Amino acid sequence: MPNCIVITAIVCVLITTVATIVSFSLPNWLHFQNLGDSLCGCSSKDCHCGLWINCRGGFDASSSLANCEWFFSDDFHIEKSLPDWFKAVQGLMSCAVASSMLSLLIGLFSLCWTCKGCNPHQATGAFANLTFLLLAVAVCVFGTKAYLEKQAIVMPSQTTSNEMLLFGWSFWVAVGATGMALISSILYFCVGRSDDTY
C-alpha cells in the first residue's frame, strides 16, 4: 500500500503535467495591450500571444478560434519569423510536456506494481527533475528575452502608458508548474531513498 508521501508526490506530478499542458497549448504567454508588434504576428492593438497561436481581441463569445491564427498556417509564415529564443522556448516546453507525462505514467504504474531490484520512484523523480530543469530554462529564457527585447512587464503601474506588453497567465502557469515539478522531484527522490534502505 502506498504511503502518504507517494500519494502526495503523484498528485504533485499530476498538477505539474496538467499545468504544463495548459501553459503549452493556450495563447496567453504575452498580452499586447494597445500595442501592435511583429512578435507572434500580433498586428492588432489587442492580441494574446501563445507558443503556437495568437488571438486578436481574445476569444469571441462562442469560444471559437475564429479570430486566432496558428503559427503553422500560411506555410509557416509566423513560425519562420519568430526569433531563435522563442523557438528554443517552444522546443523546451515540448520536451517538458513529454517528460512530465513520462513522470506521471511511471508514477502511476509504480502504484500498481512492485519489482525486486528496481526502483520506479527514482525514475519518476528523475523525469520530474528533468521536467523542472526544462521548465525552469524555458521560463527564464522567455521572461528574460521578452523583458529585454520587448519590454514586457509583470503588472501595469500608474505611470505606465496605455500601450504595454504584459506577461499573460499561461506564462505564470508555467512558472507554477516549474515550482510544482521541483517539489514532486524532491518528494520522489525522498521516497526512492527510503525504498533503497529497506
C-alpha to C-alpha distances, 131 to 20, 73, 105, 185, nearest whole angstrom: 9, 29, 14, 9
- CATH of residue 174: 1.20.140.150
Q: Which of 195, 152, 134 is nearest to 3 (CA)?
A: 195
User: Would you say residue 25 lies in a domain?
Assistant: yes
d(CA 49, CA 111): 39
User: Would you say residue 39 lies in a domain?
Assistant: no
User: Would you say residue 61 lies in a domain?
Assistant: no
**Per-position DSSP letters for 42-101, written without gaps between them:** --SSEEEE-SSEEEETS--TT--STTEEETTHHHHHHHHHS-HHHHHHHHHHHHHHHHHH
User: Would you say residue 166 lies in a domain?
Assistant: yes
**Torsion 46-53-160-83 (CA) sign:** negative
User: Would you say residue 2 lies in a domain?
Assistant: no
Per-residue pLDDT of the chain (198 residues; tens, 9 = 90+): 467 888 888 899 999 999 999 999 888 888 777 666 666 666 666 778 888 887 876 555 555 666 777 777 777 767 777 888 888 999 999 999 999 999 999 888 877 776 666 677 788 888 999 999 999 999 999 989 888 877 777 776 655 566 677 888 899 999 999 999 999 999 888 876 665 544
Determine the structural domain holding residue 167 and report its residue range.
16-29+82-196
Q: What is the pLDDT of residue 3?
A: 79
How many domains does the chain contain in total? 1
User: Would you say residue 5 lies in a domain?
Assistant: no
d(CA 143, CA 154): 10
User: Would you say residue 98 lies in a domain?
Assistant: yes
Q: What is the pLDDT of residue 38?
A: 62
User: Would you say residue 94 lies in a domain?
Assistant: yes
